[in-house]
Amino acid sequence: MNWTERDLKVIWHPYTQMQTAAPPIPIVRGEGALLFDDEGMAYLDAVSSWWVNIHGHAHPYIAEKVSTQLQTLEHVIFAGFTHPTAIELAEGLLAILPKNQQKVFYSDNGSTAVEVALKMCMQYWGNQGKPRTKIVALKNAYHGDTFGAMSVSARSAFTASFDPYLFEVEFIELPDEDNIEAIKQKLSAISHELICFIFEPLVQGSAGMLMYEAKYLDELMKHCREEGILLIADEVMTGFGRTGKRFACDHLQEKPDLMCFSKGLTGGTMPLGITTCTNQIYEAFLSEDKHKTLFHGHSFTANPVSCAAALASLELFLQPETMENIKRICKRHQLFADKNSIHPKLKTIRQTGTILAMEWNTETGTSYFSNLRDRLYQFFLGKNIILRPLGNIIYFITPYCITDQQLDQLYASVEDALETF
Ligand SMILES: *Cc1c(COP(=O)(O)O)cnc(C)c1O
């Protein structure tokens, strides 16, 4: 049996209808923006392997640091004990976040980083004897697949089987010039009940790379702050350069109380989640009373190997060359977007930093289950390009080491697709 046959005998893949999906392609090696299958065929990874890779595949520097860590300390219980790599990573990350972020809490992935942020906010009010009951989130949001994260995400085909078990959330529109006053009024009317407002800053990834302006988010954040509503910026996708600055929050005047990170955090090498918060949040848990403790943790909290990957990735991220690459991708995406801004087959082409999204005009409108999706997916795969359309929306979210030539290959393939579909 080949790898694909062996896989199908024993493995159940995520987000995959196993009866109808095309068989998985076995990938055996990666280098830069390329992935290679078991027959040596190269694929250009235009989605950073589910948005996680930022410096290229099998990066030698990260590999070296991970290898050294593995041979030194692979894991240690993180309650009652600590280790140098977790400390250095926390110090290094806080140094480049908004100044109000003062404490790092470790977990395993993006969903758990969100769960931790939600629990911190809920208990923050409870610990002060002023419990609040409701969370605010944006329409079309995606914050992960665990139950708390699902609850603050849009109700959709993905959550349908679980909707009865999700807690109630106040969903608001993406803020814009026309609705901002109405949103502010709506929140003011119930502000005494509101625990926090969680949002994906500037770009709603899984919703189809929906983009909105920093200006209106700023205005909304300012209003929440005035009303005493805590702010959670979920930077799991937008963090580490995706929006053209280090973090999406660097585009904002207002600063969040809590931030969530994962995906690019380890350069896409190892699973790791981080929730950061202000001293104000942290101090609300300090007490002689043990009941005020944050009772949350995972077996692999702050795993040293994951932390070593993240620390190495952070060093690479802070090299001037990385920001130059980010600027280069932003500029080239913009040129392509300008060139195709009024293409008749495209409903929109939109860009925030290194993220470029193109929405096809279809008779049936935008839907994740659009059959155009499967045709586009296969079309690009046939050109050895890995894209994962969200319905009729295709997008690029590439490693920053992608070459100009590889970018040209992506642009040319989109132009071909525009001819074909
Ligand atoms: C992917 C994502 C998550 C969930 O992260 P996982 O590691 O997949 O659990 C949460 N929030 C945002 C904005 C994401 O893009």
- The predicted-structure confidence for 249-281, as pLDDT tens digits, reads as follows 999 999 999 999 999 999 999 999 999 999 999
**Which pLDDT tens digit goes with each residue over 281-325?**
999 999 999 999 999 999 999 999 999 999 999 999 999 999 999
Phi/psi of residue 26, each to 5°?
-75, 120
What pLDDT, on the 0 to 100 scale, is given for residue 302? Answer: 98
Residue nearest to atom 8 of ligand 1 (CA): 110
Residue nearest to atom 7 of ligand 1 (CA): 110
Structure-block tokens of residue 86: 């977790």
Residue nearest to atom 11 of ligand 1 (CA): 143
Contact 328, 321 (CB under 8 A): no
Q: Based on DSSP, count helices (H) and strands (E) in the chain, helices before strands.
A: 13, 16
Ligand 1 atom with least separation from CA of 114: 10
The residue to mutate among 143, 212, 397, having the most atoms of ligand 1 within 8 angstroms of its beta carbon, is: 143
User: pLDDT at residue 421 above 90?
Assistant: no
Ligand 1 atom with least separation from CA of 144: 4
User: pLDDT at residue 364 above 90?
Assistant: no
What pLDDT, on the 0 to 100 scale, is given for residue 362? Answer: 83
The residue to mutate among 54, 142, 152, 300, having the most atoms of ligand 1 within 8 angstroms of its beta carbon, is: 142
Residue (of 362, 365, 353) closest to 398 by Cα position = 353
What pLDDT, on the 0 to 100 scale, is given for residue 368? Answer: 66
What amino acid positions are annotated as catalytic residues? 15, 142, 234, 263
The answer, yes or no, to whether any atom of ligand 1 lies below 6 A from the CB of 332, is: no
What pLDDT, on the 0 to 100 scale, is given for residue 294? Answer: 98
> Taking all residues of the chain, what is their mean pLDDT, rounded to a whole number?
97
Ligand 1 centroid to 110 CA: how many Å? 4
The answer, yes or no, to whether any atom of ligand 1 lies below 6 A from the CB of 143, is: yes
The answer, yes or no, to whether any atom of ligand 1 lies below 6 A from the CB of 144, is: yes
User: pLDDT at residue 366 above 90?
Assistant: no
Neighbouring C-beta atoms of residue 267, cutoff 10 Å: 27
The answer, yes or no, to whether any atom of ligand 1 lies below 6 A from the CB of 236, is: yes
Task: Give me the amino acid identity at 273.
Answer: G
Ligand 1 centroid to 214 CA: how many Å? 21
What pLDDT, on the 0 to 100 scale, is given for residue 403? Answer: 98
Ligand 1 atom with least separation from CA of 149: 10
The CA-based dihedral angle spanning residues 259, 109, 116, 208, taken in that order and rounded to the nearest 10 degrees: 60
What does the alpha-carbon distance between residue 22 and residue 34 come to, in Å, rounded to a whole number?
A: 21
Q: What long-range pairs does 163-168 form, CB within 8 A, spacing at least 24?
A: 167/135, 168/134
Structure-block tokens of residue 11: 């493995």
Tell me what the mean pLDDT of segment 179-206 comes to: 98
Ligand 1 atom with least separation from CA of 111: 9
Ligand 1 centroid to 402 CA: how many Å? 23
**Which pLDDT tens digit goes with each residue over 106-158?**
999 999 999 999 999 999 999 999 999 999 999 999 999 999 999 999 999 99
What does the alpha-carbon distance between residue 198 and residue 122 come to, in Å, rounded to a whole number?
A: 12
Residue (of 130, 172, 169, 171) closest to 148 by Cα position = 169
The answer, yes or no, to whether any atom of ligand 1 lies below 6 A from the CB of 268, is: no
What does the alpha-carbon distance between residue 373 and residue 24 come to, in Å, rounded to a whole number?
A: 17
The answer, yes or no, to whether any atom of ligand 1 lies below 6 A from the CB of 205, is: yes
Neighbouring C-beta atoms of residue 419, cutoff 10 Å: 8
Ligand 1 centroid to 237 CA: how many Å? 7
Structure-block tokens of residue 55: 């410096």
The answer, yes or no, to whether any atom of ligand 1 lies below 6 A from the CB of 201, is: no
Phi/psi of residue 308, each to 5°?
-65, -40
What does the alpha-carbon distance between residue 314 and residue 62 come to, in Å, rounded to a whole number?
A: 10
Ligand 1 centroid to 334 CA: how many Å? 26
Percent of the chain with pLDDT over 70: 98
What does the alpha-carbon distance between residue 353 and residue 336 come to, in Å, rounded to a whole number?
A: 13
Ligand 1 centroid to 242 CA: how many Å? 14
**Single pTM value for the model:** 0.97
pLDDT band at 194 (very low <50, low <70, confident <90, very high): very high
Contact 56, 33 (CB under 8 A): yes
Pairing state of beta strands 210-211 and 203-204?
A: antiparallel
The answer, yes or no, to whether any atom of ligand 1 lies below 6 A from the CB of 237, is: yes
